[in-house]
Amino acid sequence: MSDTFDVIVIGAGPAGYVAAIRAAQLGLKTAVVDAFVGKDGKQALGGTCLNIGCIPSKALLDSSKQFHNLTHNFALHGITADNPKIDIPTFTGRKDKIVKQFTGGVALLFKANKITSFFGKGKLLKGNQVEVTGNDGTKQTIAATNVILASGSVPIELPFAKFDGKHIVDNAGALDFSEVPKRLGVIGAGVIGLELGSVWKRLGSEVTIIEALPEFLAAADTDIAKTAAREFAKQGLDIKLNAKLSKAEIKGDEVHLTYNSEKDGEQSLVVDKLLVAVGRRAYTDGLLADDTGVKVDERGRIVVDEHCHTGVDGVWAIGDAVRGPMLAHKGSEEGVAVAELIAGKPGHVNLDMVPWVIYTEPEISWVGKTEKQLKDEGVPYKTGSFPFAANGRAVAMNEGVGMVKVIAHAETDRILGVHMVGPVVSELIHEAVVAMEFKGSSEDLARIVHAHPALSEVVHEAALAVDKRAIHKSN
Ligand code: FAD
Ligand code: NAD
């Protein structure tokens, strides 16, 4: 045994690295074990989110939005450019620089907080020991009073459309196409399919998305999903609902798809690249020795209680590897809570108040319950909504599309859910999160002064509309 710590974290994604930093801040001797190999062959901290998820996808979404605006929207402002082009190596290279800046930033934070970093695969052994296997196969065993499992998730692979890394790719592959695919097929109209489908559509790909469910964005509020679907259709994203892929064959440089559509029967489609984005699964391969006592559920997730404790003394689990939404901020907050619990402080994450954001154009965001959920639960509610088309700032930005909907309890007026589709709603949603965390009512939001002209006036007006007193629309 080489080293003993207060805390060892396995996995340095947004759940694990945040847990480690908070533990170190609280004076705990902390180590992190992470196996992620960056593009340069060296250790790259930050997990899926920083390397192949949140950060690189947002970099490409932003670049592709700039290009789309230049080719489609600037003329409205009287700005024109002859023959605009996009250079793909520069486009993906910019993203790589941002990734390196942030993964390197985590390494610096580890150093500043005196966190010991191990590069290799960690395996939990009985008695809170961790075996670390380096890339060269060397093994060492370290131990701690507490071990936090934060091994994250990986893409689900379909047996009839296996990833080959070139033609049939996962999210990592779709961040790094060397040229704009003429025809891009996407399996799954979920968050990744819509975000990465939008990136390549804006650069000129013909994008077809095949979605198994009959309903578009089933987790979102129905009105929001309908508005988004209409806008995506206008942009030319071809989304086929109620369609099930049965075969994907690579023939030369093409992928030949066969799928069954409820509406049109068996269909075929030929694409140049296929992105499979049908969800992610908790990743625990090689993480647990047989006798640790840590349990995994039927979906492969590490079983934890409401405090992220596994039931085995001193063993905790957080992030995508456990129940709850697979979102970076949810994992980070669990990391903070667990570090604080280990240090003897109170720590808790309210999973009912985790905001969702989809970074398409328009953006989509929500927090709390949908109307459908409240109906199913038999909770009486009232709603108010307001369109961005009636907001001066949104129209001045040429982004007067979408709406905000506030749902409040019919009797107490407490806000139960807020749903948005429109410009910059990734930021606007946090006004709702704060109001809801403080157990606010729609009247509280309605009585708060909002600057004019501002996009957040739409949130204000939607709150006023709950009481049928929105000013800039007929109620
Ligand atoms: P991960 O980030 O997956 O990190 C786990 C780490 O543990 C990895 O580095 C892995 O190599 C390492 N590891 C695993 N097992 C071991 C082991 N045995 N030993 C050592 N190391 C190990 N979420 C958002 O909130 N906002 C977004 O905008 C967003 N965009 C996304 C875009 C894409 C394309 C994808 C794929 C995901 C996106 N997500 C987003 C989801 C987000 O990336 C995840 O929710 C988040 O990364 C989960 O954090 P985590 O720390 O639990 O796991
Ligand atoms: P997802 O769960 O969001 O969407 C997967 C979609 O694929 C669903 O609509 C599902 O019905 C469909 N599907 C499943 N099997 C299918 C099949 N055989 N054929 C056709 N469609 C099928 O999953 P994702 O897009 O892979 O993303 C994984 C997770 O990563 C997300 O749920 C989210 O937690 C996280 N993520 C978050 C962000 C963000 O916060 N902006 C961005 C990307 C990813």
> Which residues participate in catalysis according to the annotation?
452
Q: Ligand 2, residue 359: give the atom nearest the CA.
A: 41
The torsion angles phi and psi of 107, rounded to 5 degrees, stand at -60, -40
Number of helices (H), then strands (E), in the chain: 13, 22
Helical H runs in 211-357?
A: 222-235, 328-342
1 has pLDDT over 80: no
Nearest ligand (C-alpha, residue 153): 1
55 lines ligand 2 (CB under 6 A): no
Average pLDDT of span 417-426: 98
The order of strands in the sheet holding 254-261 is 243-251, 254-261, 265-271
DSSP 8-state code for residue 247: E
10, 29, 27, 110: which is closest to 344 by C-alpha?
Answer: 27
Q: Ligand 1, residue 58: give the atom nearest the CA.
A: 28
> What pLDDT, on the 0 to 100 scale, is given for residue 265?
94
What percent of the chain clears pLDDT 90, i.e. is strictly above it? 98
Give Cα separations from 264 to 267, 268, 301, 454 (angstroms): 7, 11, 37, 45
CA of 276 to the centre of ligand 2 (A): 9
Nearest ligand (C-alpha, residue 186): 2
Mean pLDDT over each residue of the chain, to the nearest integer: 97
Average pLDDT of span 5-22: 98
359 lines ligand 2 (CB under 6 A): yes
CA of 277 to the centre of ligand 2 (A): 6
Nearest ligand (C-alpha, residue 210): 2
54 lines ligand 1 (CB under 6 A): yes
199, 150, 185: which is closest to 278 by C-alpha?
Answer: 185
357 has pLDDT over 60: yes
Q: Whose CA is nearest to atom 38 of ligand 2?
A: 191
CA of 387 to the centre of ligand 1 (A): 35
Would you place residue 325 in the very low, low, confident or very high pLDDT band (cuts 50, 70, 90)?
very high
6 has pLDDT over 90: yes
Q: Whose CA is nearest to atom 19 of ligand 2?
A: 212
CA of 462 to the centre of ligand 1 (A): 35
In degrees, rounded to 5, the angle at the alpha carbon of residue 246 between the alpha carbons of residues 244 and 247 is 135
Tokens, residue 217? 């964005």
Task: Note the pLDDT tens digit of each residue in 132-170.
Answer: 999 889 999 999 999 999 999 999 999 999 999 999 999
Q: Ligand 1, residue 155: give the atom nearest the CA.
A: 36
CA atoms within 13 Å, Cβ hemisphere of 456: 14
175 lines ligand 1 (CB under 6 A): no
Answer yes or no: are the C-beta atoms of 206 and 225 closer than 8 Å: no
Task: Note the pLDDT tens digit of each residue in 52-101.
Answer: 999 999 999 999 999 999 999 999 999 999 999 999 999 999 999 999 99
Task: Note the pLDDT tens digit of each residue in 33-49.
Answer: 999 999 999 999 999 99
219 alpha carbon, distance to own chain's centre:
14
CA of 198 to the centre of ligand 2 (A): 14
Would you place residue 3 in the very low, low, confident or very high pLDDT band (cuts 50, 70, 90)?
confident
CA–CA distance, 310 with 328 (Å, rounded to integer) = 20
326 lines ligand 2 (CB under 6 A): yes
Would you call 218 helix, strand, or coil by DSSP? Answer: coil
CA of 217 to the centre of ligand 2 (A): 10
Average pLDDT of span 401-430: 98
CA–CA distance, 365 with 424 (Å, rounded to integer) = 9
> What pLDDT, on the 0 to 100 scale, is given for residue 2?
58
pTM for this model (two decimals):
0.98
CA–CA distance, 304 with 402 (Å, rounded to integer) = 39
130 lines ligand 1 (CB under 6 A): no
Residue 159's contacts (CB-CB under 8 Å, 6 or more residues apart) are none
Nearest ligand (C-alpha, residue 159): 2
CA–CA distance, 105 with 21 (Å, rounded to integer) = 12
CA–CA distance, 361 with 352 (Å, rounded to integer) = 26
455, 451, 450: which is closest to 395 by C-alpha?
Answer: 455
